[in-house]
Amino acid sequence: MLLPGKHIKLSESIIGFGGFVLKDLDKPKTVDALWSDFEKVRDTDVFPSYQSFDNLVITISFLYAIGAISMHKDGKLLRCD
């Protein structure tokens, strides 16, 4: 479920979820704040697919591994521009 494909929509993939996370990290946030922001738009026109908290953790790990996000001194996540 990392990449979208024939039977997996972009919003159902970790890559698509990563796009949401990067867009939402306009300022440093905790994992809980990211999850709270996502719960507001889950299954709406903004983000039309269900993602679990486990997928959020996997997405954060993926984004950290590719250098797209980093961790602030106080434990908050921030986007690397």
Taken in order of first residue, the domains within the chain and their CATH numbers are 10-79 (1.10.10.10)
For residue range 19-54, list pLDDT tens digits in order: 999 999 999 999 999 999 999 998 888 888 888 999
Instruction: Show the 3-state SS of the chain.
Output: CCCCCCCCCHHHCHHHHHHHHHHHCCCCECHHHHHHHHHHHECCCCECCCCCHHHHHHHHHHHHHCCCEEECCCCCEEECC
Q: Quick check: pTM over 0.75?
A: yes
